[in-house]
Amino acid sequence: MATTDTPITLPEAPKVGMVSLGCPKALVDSERILTRLRADGYAMSADYAGADVVLVNTCGFLDSAKEESLAAIGEAMAENGRVIVTGCMGNEAEAIRARFPQVLAVTGAHQYEAVVEAVHEAAPPSMGPYIDLIPQAEPGDVKLTPRHYSYLKISEGCNHACAFCIIPSLRGKLASRRIDAVLREAEKLVAAGTRELLVISQDTSAYGVDVRHETRTWKGREVRTHMTDLARELGQLKTPDGHTPWVRLHYVYPYPHVDAVIPLMAEGLVTPYLDIPFQHASPNVLRAMKRPANEAKVLERIRAWREICPDLAIRSSFVVGFPGETEADFQYLLDWLDEAQLDRVGAFRFEPVAGAAANDLLDPVPEAVKEERYARIMEKTEAISAAKLAAKVGRTIRVIIDEVGEPDEDGDVGATGRSQADAPEIDGAVYLRNVPESLKPGDFVDVEIEEADAHDLFGVIAS
């Protein structure tokens, strides 16, 4: 006797929305949370209306960032009403609940299990043998960045006690990931389409200090939990089509062992780019910030690095208007920048942060003086950048494509990419004209530079 199979009706997966604020490290946290939730059978919602619950990953580094986080929570509450708060500002649960008593849960930074548990309580997952496996429609984990580049977080926390910073109180002391786990994640990302790895942490140079640079086995050989070993191993990776992915190092403190990474850049194993948080140059201000005051030695090392790797690009950020900063201190910084000739520079006006030691320092700098100094440092660094980029006109440089436009009325297609001197979202871009329509994000191309301004380059694919 014939039988008729009854179709199995799968329950609709609960949907999670995500608002992710703050730095790339927070973005990695968001990716990990969403990856875990997707493995538990949740779907992602692109808007508030379609979400069963909304996660707001907050930033709590500056008071202005906290206000932005509170505004995001308020918007999510108004648009959806079912909100879970996580991230750095999650450490201030009382302040969040005082403003928004109806939030479902509040967790702190990188508390992945607590976030997932809160989501399970707010919107129970649809468990079953057909839907409790990680979906395989797209290889790799959930990504909030474009497919061709990925952030690779190697550690959490920081052992420094900078006077202006509260990150150690938010994220704790340095806790390095196992180097074999980091390399396995990097290998997986590259196999899934990543063409650029952006290595991030609070202090990349300190990677492995907390575990005494323990040794692990990787691909049959012993590797130390150390920035140099990590950089060397990442430089051995290959994309499916045989290219060497770019490996970009962020948040690198200029410890002596950084010198050993520069030859790897000269060999083409690591992208010739260092993101170094100098913060200032005046010895007086650096001491007040509780940061190393060896700015003269740093200048010598920068010169030595560039002798080994002439294409090395250095980006940094500086704080102006720190308590006690005199006009002489600020002029010292400007003169130091003339010597250092950094490629990319960001500047910030000092802003008191609740819980930071700098709040108790005497001699606050008036807001008008901060603004005037900010304008001067930006004028200085813009002039340096313009000169450096002008020197690239006529050269042919390697570029990774981020976006390809639609044909214009004449049928011409433009594209936006970045050189090795440009990290995504924080540095400049390379704008291309008359590219083939077959070009796609993640492609590497050689570009002849035709023009430059203070921040960006313009060119055409070299013939």
CATH code assigned at 163: 3.80.30.20
Per-residue pLDDT of the chain (463 residues; tens, 9 = 90+): 444 444 544 457 889 999 998 877 788 788 888 877 876 778 888 889 889 999 999 988 777 888 899 999 999 999 999 999 998 888 888 889 999 999 999 998 767 778 888 898 888 875 443 333 333 333 445 566 788 999 899 998 888 777 777 777 767 789 999 999 999 999 999 998 999 999 999 899 999 999 999 999 999 999 999 999 999 999 999 999 898 999 999 999 988 999 999 999 999 999 999 999 999 999 999 999 888 656 668 999 999 999 999 999 999 999 999 999 999 999 999 999 999 999 999 998 988 777 777 777 888 999 999 999 999 999 999 999 999 999 999 999 999 999 999 888 888 999 999 999 999 989 999 999 999 989 999 999 999 999 999 999 999 999 8
Q: Is 152 helix (H, G, I), strand (E, B) or coil?
A: strand
Same domain, 107 and 171: no
Specify the pairing of strand 396-404 against strand 444-452.
Answer: antiparallel
State whether 255 and 363 are in the same domain: yes
Is 309 annotated to bind a ligand? Reply is no
Residues 325 and 370 occupy one common structural domain? yes
Structural domain contains residue 5? no
Q: How far is CA 431 from CA 121, 174, 400, 415, 439, in A?
A: 48, 39, 11, 6, 14
Together in a domain, 154 and 248: yes
Which CATH number is 438's domain given? 2.40.50.140
- Same structural domain, 31 and 176: no
At 120, is the secondary structure helix, strand, or coil? helix
Q: Is residue 413 part of a domain?
A: yes
Q: Is 105 left (phi over 0), alpha (psi -120 to 50) or beta?
A: beta
d(CA 179, CA 223): 8
227, 348: one domain? yes
Q: What is the DSSP letter of 226?
A: S
- 360 and 276 assigned to the same domain: yes
Instruction: Indicate the residue among 104, 122, 140 that finishes a domain.
Output: 122
d(CA 335, CA 421): 23
Assign residue 36 the CATH number of its domain: 3.40.50.12160
The answer for 157, left when phi > 0, alpha when psi is -120 to 50, beta otherwise, is: left
What six digits make up the tokens of 356? 């930071």
Domain total for the chain? Answer: 3
In a domain, 7, yes or no: no
The answer on whether 162 is annotated among ligand-binding residues is: yes
Residues 6+ away with beta carbon under 8 Å from 215:
222, 223, 224, 225
Distance (Å, rounded) from C-alpha 215 to C-alpha 179?
A: 8
Residues 228 and 268 in one domain: yes
Coil, strand, or helix at residue 40?
A: coil
Of 373, 390, 407, the position where a domain reaches its end is 390
Residues 211 and 271 in one domain: yes
- Residue 1 included in any domain: no
SS3 461: strand
In a domain, 144, yes or no: no
Are both 368 and 424 inside the same structural domain? no
Do both 412 and 362 map to the same domain? no
Q: Are residues 222 and 249 in the same domain?
A: yes
In sequence order, the 6+-apart residues with CB closer than 8 A to the CB of 352 are: 63, 358, 359
Give the whole-angstrom CA distance, residue 348 versus residue 318.
6
Asked whether residue 156 is domain-assigned, the answer is yes
- Tell me which residue range forms the domain holding 422: 396-461
129 in a domain, yes or no? Answer: no
